[in-house]
């Protein structure tokens, strides 16, 4: 029996060790990462029919991400129960453009053209600064120096006038066994959706860029970029008449960031400059406003192995952001300001023994328009076996006041403080590089949120008063128990509580739950590949224990429990051509996936074509 097992393992193809960058800002094995880190494979997600960042994130443990009105619509993102404005979203380590509320319009980002999406849950400001109160999400493009050159074309169409087209192109100067020294990857995707309700149409266009040039064996220049534009109606409101009244919102954003990376046997370092901007226009009368944001960032950090068991790091980041709010109905500028910040951090990574590891970091940030903030974290990990890792962490993080928080002034003129989080967690990670082995994570966590910014309901002036707590347990798994079978799943049990006497315009009192977060989120999936030509898959997501606020009645309402089922089929026609069918919301669940008054998109079917060149 042992000889048969040995033959099987010898013949089984071993995967290259997966790496993640998000936890330390330097590439490290996934097996050494904390269980609060997830790496989502975009190729597998795309083959199962997922197209948007929101839909991809929704299947991760500890994450509740959902689209308000169907594919590509406004998305809500809650990491371990924190707000959408309290998570940093990056592209290859560079922060993507934010809106006036510090949130990211994640609904307009497509995953086509990415290689993976990395998630770091829990307070992470000691390395990432502002907006990493709840965690960090990093969209990773493939490296044009190591990836295979070629092109991919995808097209899809289906229910409610849905149509999308994507083109990805990668080229480099690799010849035979000679590695590339220069390469470029570009992807472009466009989509249109009529929607299933009046005035529910959406158009989106997005592109990603990554160029790499190896200047020497140890030094690489890179250029990272993105651009996106979206236009959406206000679902359920068929105003008619002038187009300026039926178009509710136009979004656009862009990022351009050159940088340098250095690596030798003992040193890893990076420096980059980023220029990012976003524009959001709401043109429905009487809320006709345009919001503009432009941000410059210069970041440099280096890690040095000073001993075989000890690595020390140092980093610095300067940011300058300008804001502008314009009343298009009155043709007047209502508010403008410029903020600057400087952050310095240091970190240590100590391999105490062969099985024990300690990491620590501390960061200090100073701002021109509000109080500064010092954050830090300490973590300890113990390796029981080659595959099983235990991890514990305590950390602090913050979210800076947004432009929306400052545009109408502060209560009694008092300066605002950044929102704060003190988070603790303990968990396990089991990671195996042999196909067929079970990989899983299990984490218990708690967040204490203080100095949350609230609003005076009459003057809209802001002040630090609100407090809240989130805690829970999250787990994720993936396994291939037999050839051609993949099982995957994630679940989160979440308990939230408002701890202040009043919370956000009276929507909650002390002891109430935070709005919209499910008490239980459960996703299970099965994918079967009976032959090289066919793939069949099904997944289900179940939500329980959600509350929202009904602004018409001025009271809280319980959202019904909901189960959303999707299926997908792929047929390989040749080495370069595939066709696909996916059905969303198979059983016609009509409960709101995100918010009260926004029901789920009815059952929808889509046909797709993938062609590789």
Q: What is the pLDDT of residues 343-364, one digit of tens each?
A: 999 999 999 999 999 999 999 9
Res 501: pLDDT: 67
pLDDT in tens, 173-211: 999 889 999 999 999 999 999 888 877 888 889 999 999
Q: What is the mean pLDDT of residues 254-262?
A: 97
Res 205: pLDDT: 92
Res 101: pLDDT: 77
* Residue 296 CB coordination number (10 Å): 15
Rg (CA), the chain: 24
| pTM for the whole structure | 0.93
User: Quick check: 588 and 566 in contact, CB under 8 A?
Assistant: no
Cα dist. 536→483, 528, 530, 582 in Å?
Answer: 14, 5, 8, 10
In degrees and rounded to multiples of 5, residue 132 shows phi and psi of -100, 30
Res 9: pLDDT: 36
- Cα–Cα distance for residue pair 67/53, rounded to 1 Å: 10
* Residue 230 CB coordination number (10 Å): 23
Res 165: pLDDT: 96
- Cα–Cα distance for residue pair 449/467, rounded to 1 Å: 6
* Mean pLDDT lowest among 232-241, 375-384, 406-415, 441-450: 232-241
Res 284: pLDDT: 59
* pLDDT greater than 50 at residue 611: yes
The average confidence (pLDDT) of the chain is 89
Confidence tier at 41 by pLDDT (50, 70, 90): very high
Cα dist. 55→12, 108, 206, 219 in Å?
Answer: 32, 11, 16, 36
Handedness of CA 114, 115, 120, 125 (dihedral sign): negative
- Cα–Cα distance for residue pair 490/38, rounded to 1 Å: 11
Query: How many whole angstroms from its chain centre is CA 506?
Result: 29
The residue that leads in pLDDT, 248 or 574, is 574
Res 10: pLDDT: 39
Res 11: pLDDT: 38
Closest CA to 36 of 376, 379, 346: 379
Cα dist. 74→49, 80, 207, 235, 560 in Å?
Answer: 19, 20, 18, 11, 21
**First vs last Cα of the chain: how many Å apart?**
45
* Mean pLDDT lowest among 27-31, 332-336, 376-380, 544-548: 332-336
Percentage of residues of the chain with pLDDT beyond 70: 92
User: Quick check: 13 and 69 in contact, CB under 8 A?
Assistant: no
Res 12: pLDDT: 39
Res 30: pLDDT: 92
- Cα–Cα distance for residue pair 482/476, rounded to 1 Å: 19
pLDDT in tens, 384-409: 999 999 999 999 999 998 888 888 88
Parallel, antiparallel, or unpaired: how do β-strands 135-140 and 87-91 relate?
parallel
The 8 Å CB, 24+ separation contacts for 454-458 are 454/500, 454/502, 454/503, 454/504, 454/505, 455/504, 455/505, 456/411, 457/505, 457/506
The 8 Å CB, 24+ separation contacts for 534-539 are 534/569, 534/570, 534/571, 534/572, 535/47, 535/568, 535/569, 535/570, 536/567, 536/568, 536/569, 537/48, 537/567, 537/568, 537/569, 538/565, 538/566, 538/567, 538/568, 539/48, 539/59, 539/488, 539/565, 539/566
User: Quick check: 147 and 180 in contact, CB under 8 A?
Assistant: no
Give alpha helix (H) positions in 378-501. Answer: 403-406
User: Quick check: 459 and 497 in contact, CB under 8 A?
Assistant: no
Res 235: pLDDT: 66
Res 291: pLDDT: 86
pLDDT in tens, 215-245: 999 999 999 999 999 888 766 554 444 444 4
- Cα–Cα distance for residue pair 310/349, rounded to 1 Å: 6
Q: Which CATH architecture has domain 19-612?
A: Beta Barrel (2.40)
- Cα–Cα distance for residue pair 440/437, rounded to 1 Å: 10
pLDDT in tens, 44-78: 999 998 988 999 999 999 999 988 766 767 778 89
Domain ranges of the chain: 19-612
User: Quick check: 474 and 61 in contact, CB under 8 A?
Assistant: yes
């Amino acid at each position: 029996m042992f000889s048969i097992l040995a033959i099987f393992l010898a013949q089984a193809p071993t995967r290259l060790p997966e790496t993640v960058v998000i936890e330390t800002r330097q590439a490290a094995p996934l097996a050494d990462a904390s269980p609060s880190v997830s790496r989502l494979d975009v190729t597998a997600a795309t083959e199962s029919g997922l197209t948007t960042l929101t839909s991809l994130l929704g299947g991760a443990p500890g994450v509740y991400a959902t689209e308000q009105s169907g594919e590509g619509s406004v998305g809500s993102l809650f990491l371990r129960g924190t707000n959408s404005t309290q998570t940093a979203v990056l592209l290859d380590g560079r922060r993507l453009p934010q809106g006036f509320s510090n949130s990211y319009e994640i609904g307009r980002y497509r995953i086509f053209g990415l290689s993976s999406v990395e998630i770091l849950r829990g307070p992470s400001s000691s390395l990432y600064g502002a907006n990493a109160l709840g965690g960090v999400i990093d969209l990773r493009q493939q490296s044009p120096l190591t990836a295979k050159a070629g092109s991919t074309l995808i097209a899809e169409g289906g229910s409610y006038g849905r149509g999308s087209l994507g083109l990805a192109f990668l080229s480099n100067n690799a010849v035979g066994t000679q590695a590339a020294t220069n390469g470029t990857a570009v992807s472009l995707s466009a989509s249109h959706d009529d929607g299933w309700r009046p005035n529910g149409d959406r158009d989106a266009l997005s592109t990603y860029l990554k160029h790499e040039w190896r200047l020497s064996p140890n030094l690489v220049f890179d250029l990272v970029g993105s651009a996106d534009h979206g236009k959406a109606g206000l679902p359920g409101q068929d105003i008619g008449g002038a187009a300026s009244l039926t178009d509710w919102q136009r979004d656009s954003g862009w990022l351009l960031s050159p940088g340098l990376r250095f690596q030798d046997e003992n040193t890893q370092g990076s420096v980059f400059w980023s220029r990012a901007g976003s524009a959001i226009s709401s043109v429905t009368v009487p809320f006709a406003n345009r919001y503009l944001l432009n941000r410059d960032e210069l970041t440099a950090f280096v890690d040095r192995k000073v001993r075989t068991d000890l690595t020390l790091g140092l980093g610095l980041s300067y940011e300058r952001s300008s804001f502008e709010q314009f009343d298009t109905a009155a043709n007047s500028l209502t508010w403008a300001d410029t903020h600057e910040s400087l952050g310095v951090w240091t970190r240590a990574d100590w391999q105490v023994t062969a099985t024990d590891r300690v990491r620590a970091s501390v960061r200090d940030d100073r701002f021109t328009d509000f109080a500064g903030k010092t954050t830090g974290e300490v973590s300890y990990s113990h390796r029981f076996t080659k595959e099983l890792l235990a991890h514990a962490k305590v950390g602090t993080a913050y979210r800076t006041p947004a432009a929306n928080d400052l545009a109408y002034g502060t209560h009694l003129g008092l300066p605002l403080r950044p929102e704060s989080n003190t988070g603790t967690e303990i968990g396990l990670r089991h990671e195996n590089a042999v196909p067929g082995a079970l990989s899983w994570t299990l984490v218990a966590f708690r967040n204490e949120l203080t100095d949350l910014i609230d609003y005076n309901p009459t003057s809209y002036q802001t002040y630090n008063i609100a407090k809240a707590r989130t805690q829970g347990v999250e787990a994720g798994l993936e396994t291939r128990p037999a050839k051609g079978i993949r099982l995957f799943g994630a679940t989160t049990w979440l308990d939230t509580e408002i701890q202040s006497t009043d919370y956000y315009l009276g929507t909650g009192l002390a002891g109430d739950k935070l709005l919209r977060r499910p008490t239980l989120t459960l996703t299970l999936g099965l994918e079967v590949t009976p032959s090289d030509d066919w793939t069949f898959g099904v997944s289900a997501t179940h939500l329980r224990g959600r509350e929202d606020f009904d602004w018409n009645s001025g009271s809280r309402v319980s959202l019904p429990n909901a189960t959303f089922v999707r299926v997908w089929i792929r047929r390989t026609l040749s080495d370069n051509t595939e066709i696909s069918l996916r059905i969303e919301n198979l059983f016609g669940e009509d409960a709101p996936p995100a918010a009260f008054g926004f029901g789920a998109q009815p059952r929808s079917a889509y046909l797709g074509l993938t062609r590789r060149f």
